Structure 1
Amino acid sequence: MTKLDATLNRLVEEARTAPASAEIAARALPLLDLTSLNDDDTDERIAALCDRAVTEAGGVAAVCIYPRFVPLAKQRLSNKGVAIATVINFPAGGTDAAAVSADTKAAVRAGADEIDVVLPWRTFQSGERTIPHDVLRACRDACGDGVLMKVILETGGLDDAGLIEQASRDAISAGADFIKTSTGKLNPAATLEAAAIMMAVIRDCGRPVGFKAAGGIRDTAGAAGYLYLSNVLLGPGWATPSTFRFGASGLLDALLADLGQTTTGRKPSGGY
């Protein structure tokens, strides 16, 4: 990745050493989008994922699943205070705005509360701006009122500080409620460097926008660095479920262990 400016680089280095603790685990748990996005997901696996979403230590923010499982998750988590998130044009970041609109409308009708849509990042990387904007606007319009749009930038593919900054700004301009690092299908996934750039854009954008780190965050120590960046760049009280998410599959059990809770023992076989 292109070198960060000196201030962000210093913050990233500090974030790498942010200590893990039970307090950090307690902060991170309600920020979790508990995720299973495997090609071989089944009703049984998604039902088990939903059953894991409410623990003795509290509930997660959302479950994130493929659209075909939205009705099942909606039924399974009825009145549990856990949102249903799903993915559109995932993971490749398709450029067909009409298809994105239709798929988003179908997911919302099925009960999705949140839509994670992929910026057509390869097209964006090539220098094209109209097509990515049109795709995101189609999703935003199809979401309607009350449904969150989280835009996945696929920062590991962009792999350039300037491109990540511009993609963040363009996603926000197109109506993003959250900007999200990664699909979890490409390496590197979430990085502290990308997170610092994205949070700095959020800080300066002039309206409330959330941040989601997704992919490769597996323990409390991994979560601690992102929370440190949010504290410094956006304020100690900024990271709440309405502004900050971790997209992960295995992180929940690690957080519960650090909170002294019995772990669920039923991790998805993949996802994030």
Structure 2
Amino acid sequence: MSEVSDAGEVDEALAQQVIGILELASLNADDTPQRIIALCQRALTPVGHVAAICVLPRFAGLARRTLDSLCARDIKVVAAVNFPGGSPSVSSADMEAHAAIVAGADEIDVVYPFHALLGGDKQVGADIVNACRVRCGNNGVLTVTLETGVLRDPQVIHGASCVAIEEGANFLKTSTGKQAVNPTAQASRILIAAIAESGAHVGLNVSGNVRTLNEARVHMDLVRARFGLRWLEQGRLRLGSTSLLDDLLVHLGVSA
């Protein structure tokens, strides 16, 4: 009985920790202001605030105003640009990022042009990341989403990771969550390796296939094994999953 009780306490402690590194998202073409407001309200859970919410650029201002009205300035608003297809247009990504920041976004999450990379164009990815880096300024946070489930080849994923880091990414993200092929633990390992090799202050955002506490644990264990416990905080690790919140709240004994 005590072993079962101990396991439950461990799960509860982990669930509480994951709440603080969670990034909720609503990134649908048919999103409405009401849906974004509801997402913001959900980010203030009964057991603490999540780290961030991720929305399309047109909702960045609404999300920031809503969170501020809820006295939740600590929750970051991330605007997903070049989403979800990863267009090779530098000017389009640049304009989206600029508009989102002006509207109130705290952070930018740009989708790396994965189709262009698979077609042999290695330069446009660097150009897009650089343009968004400039828009974010020295203190702004930039996440680069690599769509690892589509890139698939470890060398290609690693190469894109290195380019993103060189051009100023603050986080590497595994997926948009909009592709048929989801990222795997192996994808996280590749991104972690690229971060470790760079020696840069770059974090990991795991998104696209993390729906339960046990799935979250897998990626957290990978990060802890490579970087230690100090990495298990929102400045270094985020889990991008809205459905994960339901499972966490169950473990914490509160209703969603």
Q: TM-score, normalised by structure 2?
A: 0.92
- Does residue 178 of structure 2 align to residue 200 of structure 1? no
Unaligned runs of 5+ in 2: 1-9
Give how far 1:101 is off: 1.3
Pick aligned residue for 1:144 from 137, 147, 156: 137
Distance of 1:96 and 1:38 partners within structure 2: 21
Write the mapping of 1:1-272 to structure 2, written as runs, cut at 5 A.
21-78=11-68, 79-80=71-72, 81-263=74-256
Distance of 2:78 and 2:154 partners within structure 1: 28
2:108 aligned counterpart, secondary structure: strand
Give how far 1:187 is off: 2.7
Give how far 1:172 is off: 0.3
* Number of aligned positions between the proteins: 244
CA contact (8 A) 1:117 1:149 kept: yes
Structure 1 runs, 4 residues or longer, greater than 6 Å off = none
Letter in 2 for 1:85: V
More helix by share: 2
Distance of 2:242 and 2:231 partners within structure 1: 24
Give how far 1:100 is off: 1.4
Q: Deviations over 1:125-169 (max 9, x none)?
A: 222211111111111111113221100000001011111111111
Letter in 2 for 1:76: T
Letter in 1 for 2:196: R
Q: TM-score, normalised by structure 1?
A: 0.87
| Farther off after superposition, 84-93 or 253-262 | 253-262
Distance of 1:30 and 1:190 partners within structure 2: 22
1:77 aligned counterpart, secondary structure: helix
CA contact (8 A) 1:183 1:189 kept: no
Unaligned runs of 5+ in 1: 1-19, 264-272
2:127 aligned counterpart, secondary structure: helix
CA contact (8 A) 2:61 2:100 kept: no
CA contact (8 A) 2:171 2:203 kept: yes
Distance of 2:128 and 2:117 partners within structure 1: 11
Distance of 2:138 and 2:130 partners within structure 1: 14
Give how far 1:205 is off: 0.8
Distance of 2:120 and 2:167 partners within structure 1: 17
Letter in 2 for 1:256: L
Task: Report the RMSD for the aligned CA atoms in angstroms.
Answer: 1.2
Q: Deviations over 1:149-207 (max 9, x none)?
A: 10000000101111111111111011100000001011322310100111111112121
